[in-house]
Amino acid sequence: MHIIDTINNAPNTLLSLEILPPLKGKKITDLFSHLDKLVEFNPSWINVTYHRSETMFRKNESGNFEKVEIRKRPGTVGICAAIKNYYKIEAVPHLICGGFSKRETEDALIDLHFLGIDNVLVLRGDPPKNESQFEANKNGHNYAIQLVNQIQALNKGIYLDTDIINGSNTNFCMGIAGYPEKHIESPNLDEDVYFTKQKVEAGASYIMTQMFFDNAKYINYVEKCRQIGINVPIIPGLKPLTNKNQLHTLPKIFNIEIPYALSHELHKSKTDKEFETIGTEWLIQQSKELKKLGVPVLHYYTLGKPEVIKNVIKNIF
Ligand code: FAD
């Protein structure tokens, strides 16, 4: 079922989850034991992130360093198919522009279509870790909107190969990313929202937000979107703070603020456990407030912390 239909048919706030594929070399059963703790709460769907390869330097046999391409977390599509098959829950793969030519994207979409996966979260992707700027692949897309356009064309049976006449059409429902505190590269929130509107007009059915820790930022973002005519559901993305490093790393990586009331409390914690308890309690309160506001879905980034997320959602659903 399309995510947008699931949302539109729901009388109450829904629950959805996001997971990362396991590190290469780990078993899929490790992932299932993570999800087993959460599926009892009936998530409406599960998102699976996509991770492009990174360039690293490794010592070779002769003792010299050589540049190698490493993909640490492959398996997004396989995991989505496994989730659908094993749990009978809708799975949403993230699809990025980075590292893909348009033809590779088309082939990936055909694979998804044949597997019966017809929901995707459409993203540009970040620059690789050691590069400061996003660079599209040769014959790839520079912005997520171009990927939305490609998928929209395939939904009409239009393939890159113009020799294909009356091509079989796909049926993808597309979500896109939104940033309540603006995307890190954007000069201001208004411009970022302007480009988000373009993605919606190109065919995206809903927006999923970057994590935020201050509900006022989400409320302000939704208002801004509505003012310029973005009327699709805007799903809040939520994450618990579980270790001290995140106080410094998350604002830097994701261009988000951690409110003083939260950071001040967290600074008082003496152990990791105390830190996690405060982070969890904050997320419970955030979720309760958002649910009261009538948000369509609460989407949790589980990121290897199923027990924490379980603790949160059992207080909400
Ligand atoms: P875009 O919409 O292309 O926007 C990128 C920047 O360009 C923004 O600053 C925007 O304002 C600007 N812009 C957009 N269109 C134009 C235009 N036409 N002209 C000029 N400027 C423009 N990354 C992964 O690698 N894998 C994942 O699985 C993943 N999952 C994510 C899930 C969510 C919910 C979110 C919020 C992010 C996720 N990301 C993921 C990160 C995402 O790929 C990065 O934030 C990326 O830098 C931007 O992606 P986007 O789709 O928002 O890009």
CA dihedral 183, 189, 191, 197 (to 10 degrees): 80
For 90-143, how does the pLDDT look when each residue is reduced to its tens digit (9 = 90+)? 999 999 999 999 999 999 999 999 999 999 999 999 988 878 899 999 999 999
State residue 157 phi and psi, 5-degree precision. 85, 15
- Is the pLDDT at 9 greater than 90? The verdict is yes
Q: Which of 3, 73, 123, 239 to mutate to test the pocket of ligand 1 (most atoms within 8 A of CB)?
A: 123
Q: For residue 85, how far is its CA from the centre of ligand 1 (angstroms)?
A: 30
Q: Atom of ligand 1 at shortest distance to CA of 126?
A: 47
- CA pair distance 148, 278, nearest whole angstrom: 39
- CA pair distance 28, 44, nearest whole angstrom: 21
How much is the pLDDT for 188? 98
pTM above 0.95? yes
The per-residue pLDDT of the chain, averaged, comes to 96
Q: Which of 143, 146, 228, 300 to mutate to test the pocket of ligand 1 (most atoms within 8 A of CB)?
A: 143
How much is the pLDDT for 64? 85
Q: Atom of ligand 1 at shortest distance to CA of 144?
A: 3
Q: For residue 177, how far is its CA from the centre of ligand 1 (angstroms)?
A: 6
Q: For residue 4, how far is its CA from the centre of ligand 1 (angstroms)?
A: 20
For 52-91, how does the pLDDT look when each residue is reduced to its tens digit (9 = 90+)? 988 778 888 888 888 888 889 999 999 999 999 999 999 9
Q: Is 237 in the pocket of ligand 1 (CB under 6 A)?
A: yes
Q: Atom of ligand 1 at shortest distance to CA of 191?
A: 11
Q: Is 94 in the pocket of ligand 1 (CB under 6 A)?
A: yes
For 167-209, how does the pLDDT look when each residue is reduced to its tens digit (9 = 90+)? 999 999 999 999 999 999 999 999 999 999 999 999 999 999 9
How much is the pLDDT for 136? 94
Sketch out the chain's domains with CATH numbers.
3-316 (3.20.20.220)
The mean pLDDT value for 198-225 works out to 98
- CA pair distance 255, 208, nearest whole angstrom: 16
Among 28-32, 177-181, 191-195, 297-301, where is mean pLDDT lowest?
A: 28-32
- Is the pLDDT at 308 greater than 90? The verdict is yes
Buried b (16+ CB within 10 A) or exposed e, 152-170: bbbbeeebeeeeeeeeeeb
Q: For residue 14, how far is its CA from the centre of ligand 1 (angstroms)?
A: 24
Q: Is 239 in the pocket of ligand 1 (CB under 6 A)?
A: no
**Residue nearest to ligand 1 atom 40, measured at CA:** 125
**Residue nearest to ligand 1 atom 11, measured at CA:** 192
Q: Which residues 6+ apart lie within 8 Å of 314 measured at CB?
A: 41
Q: Answer yes or no: are the C-beta atoms of 210 and 254 closer than 8 Å.
A: yes
For 152-170, how does the pLDDT look when each residue is reduced to its tens digit (9 = 90+)? 999 999 999 999 999 999 9
